[in-house]
Amino acid sequence: MNNKEIASIFYRIGDALEIKGENVFKIRAYRRAARNIMDLPREVSALFQQDPSRINSIPGVGRDLKEKIVEMLSSGRLAYFESLMKEFPPGFFDMLKLSGLGPKRLKKFKEKLNIKNIDDLEKACRQHSLSKLEGEGERAEAKLSAAIEYYKKGVGRFLLQDAEYIAEKTVAYLKKSSVFKKIEIAGSLRRGKETVGDIDILAEVRDKSKAMDYFAAMPLAEKIIAKGAVKSSILVKGGAQLDLRVASAGSFGAALMYFTGSKAHNIKLRRIAKLKKRKVNEYGIFSVSAGGKEKKLAGKTEKDVYQKLGMPWIPPELREDNGEIEAALAGRLPENLLTEKDILGDLHLHTRETDGNVSVKDIVKEAKRRGYKYIAITNHSKYVRIARGMDEKRLLAHVADIRKISADISGIKVFAGIEVDILEDGRLDLEDYALKELDIVIAAVHSHFSLDEKKQTERMIKALNNKYVNVLAHPSGRLITTRTPISLDFEKIFLLCAKNNVFLEVNTHGERIDLNDLHCRMAKNLGAKFVINTDAHDIAQLDAMKYGVITARRAWLEKKDVLNTYAAGKLIKALCRGE
DNA sequence: GCCGTTTTCGGCCCGACTGTTTTCAGTCG
């Protein structure tokens, strides 16, 4: 059983217990454990094989949940879960995904109307039998109908870049009105998560009710979910949910923290505040006297609030309750967290010679315009037929062209490279005599994604032991919406990369983000180094560098961890693997 | 069910919006 399967069972137990009306803290415990398991870069099963007691090191997993995990890993089943599920019809829990419908009402529907699944619920709405129940009414029924409709359309999470696009359009719209004084994007978009559920925007305004009216009247808006004095939510065309919250200048920092999250980060901060006889909410940080009297201590900026909690400002990308609060309290946050301006070049680019849409000359010019000090042209090797990948002969001619272009242009260095395929057996797709002529060799898997972990790991090890390989491109091979990561002993591979001086790529393509933040952080802790590449096939795709930087920041990477922050001379030395 | 710079027991973040109600429960983030 993998982490996702274990976590989803715990989530489902949480749902079932909630409907049964169990202790809310018990429910919360299951969900917290599930979330923490999802956030682990390692498989719990691997942890278990090494040393079963390591399961206790997962936060939120105590004696009881450990036993349940052990049962799942050793038998592939969980008796407690199976007996619990017997109490509910199949498809029952899908209804919890409907916006505005929670466990209490769901329980009521089941008991009073024998509703078993979404189809039953839809029927009940149509027949208006729902609105006759106590505590329900016509508006509630209509809302539920709409929620079912949206659910069926498949409203889900968006890729970071798509969410950013919608957010930017919204901000541009809001800025056209003089009611808005200050606008900030918050939520998981500000934290740079690879997918974003809803888009949170915080604003300081001159007139709250006018601001809310203007927001709700947005041309993109399809449906208003909620509209209050300080908070509104709308659904926009395409299915994304936008939340607008307004805050006064004196509370703006506290509101930004609240609205940026993560939820787990906020909860921990509030708990720390409570221990110190303080209270944190979206209006500020307050001291609380014995008599319950509150006095505001700060709220204007995030920095002020963190300071009153006894810690420095924490960058949004780190706010996941993954050790950043403890690090901040101990003064051990990363000192030089990577920034976009640290990036001096892009080392994975395709051109017309294979499947790119741009000439070498044009992409060099554009890179120079962007202020890059160097780039590498890395086209495909012959195995990738569909991309018209190059054999040794074409490659060497291509290298000669690149050398000439590099010599003809000043102010930017153009490295000649390749993205060479790793074949099924771990050999590379090109002979060493050709690879030897290159400045940089990127190795990548583009086929045989479904090998089992042992074979896939052996394949990778063989490739990484080729002395000409400098970079492992998009190591997990996943595509966020369509392809799961390959099965790989990531720990072993990261250690080998560290040992062999092979840089791990953070591929910034919106569908990839590969390595992801969690693997990246794990690899850093194992001593590996990184390179952030767009894998651009045209000019516009060069813009994606920012998603790699934000992912690196989420992984706590610093400037020194990243190859393409080095000056050209240092970079060439760093690529040297020695004979 | 978890957890400990007060605690191995008694806590567990905090507030906004909605709809159906006249004071609040349910839901959400």
Through-space separation of residue A30 CA and nucleotide B9 C1' in angstroms: 21
In angstroms, the CA A541 to CA A363 distance is 11
Predicted TM-score of the model (pTM): 0.89
Query: Which nucleotides of chain B are near protein (any atom < 7 Å from a CB)?
Result: 1-3, 6-7, 11-21, 25-29
- How far: A103 CA to B26 C1' (Å)? 9
The answer to whether strand B lies under 7 Å from the CB of residue A15 is no
d(CA A571, CA A565) in angstroms, rounded, equals 8
| Nearest nt to the A64 alpha carbon by C1' | B1
Whether the CB of A106 is less than 7 Å away from nucleic strand B comes out as yes
Lowest model confidence (mean pLDDT) among A22-26, A120-124, A390-394, A575-579: A575-579
A310 touches strand B (CB under 7 A): no
Identify nearest nucleotide to residue A26 by CA to C1′ distance.
Answer: B1
A275 beta carbon to strand B: under 7 Å: yes
| Residues A9 and A33 sit within 8 Å (Cβ to Cβ) | no
Q: Which residues of A441-452 are buried (b: 16+ CB within 10 A; e: fewer)?
A: bbbbbbeeeebe
Helix pair A160-175, A545-554: axis angle to 10 deg: 110
A352, A355, A356, A359 alpha-carbon torsion, rounded to 10°: -10
pLDDT at A223: 87
Q: Which nucleotide is nearest to A198 (CA to C1')?
A: B29
- Measuring alpha carbon to C1', the residue closest to nucleotide B1 is A26
Rounded distance in angstroms from the CA atom of residue A138 to the C1' atom of nucleotide B21: 14
The helix or strand, by DSSP H or E, that contains position A455, with its residue range, turns out to be: helix A453-464
Per-residue confidence band for A578, with pLDDT thresholds at 50, 70 and 90:
low
The answer to whether the beta carbon of residue A29 comes closer than 7 angstroms to any atom of strand B is yes
Per-residue flag: A266 CB under 7 A of strand B:
yes
Confidence of residue A155 (pLDDT cuts 50, 70, 90): low
- Please report which confidence band the pLDDT of residue A398 belongs to, taking 50, 70 and 90 as the band edges: very high
Q: Does the CB of A63 sit below 7 A from strand B?
A: yes
Q: Which amino acid is at A315?
A: P
A9-CA/B29-C1' distance, Å: 23
Q: How far is the CA of A114 from the C1' of B28 (A)?
A: 26
The reported pLDDT for the residue numbered A412 is: 97
Task: Please report the pLDDT score of residue A238 as a whole number.
Answer: 78
Strand ranges in A46-95 using DSSP code E only, listed in sequence order: none
Nucleotide nearest to A101 (CA to C1'): B27
pLDDT band with cut points at 50, 70 and 90 for residue A176:
very high
Residue A579 confidence (pLDDT) above 80: no
* A280 CB below 7 A from strand B atoms: yes
Q: Phi-psi category of A478—alpha, beta or left, where left has phi over 0 and alpha has psi -120 to 50?
A: beta
Q: Name the token pair of A288.
A: 């609380």
Percentage of chain A beyond pLDDT 90 is 75
Q: Which residues contact A46 (CB under 8 A, 6 or more apart)?
A: A489, A491
Q: Is A473's pLDDT higher than 90?
A: yes
Could you check: is the Cβ of residue A279 within 7 Å of any atom of nucleic acid strand B? yes
Measured in residues, chain A has a length of: 579
Structure confidence by residue, pLDDT tens digits, A293-327: 889 999 999 999 999 999 999 999 999 999 999 99
For chain A, what is the mean pLDDT?
93
DSSP A501: T
Judge whether residue A426 contacts strand B, using its CB and a 7 Å cut-off. no
The Å distance, CA of A208 to C1' of B15, is: 18
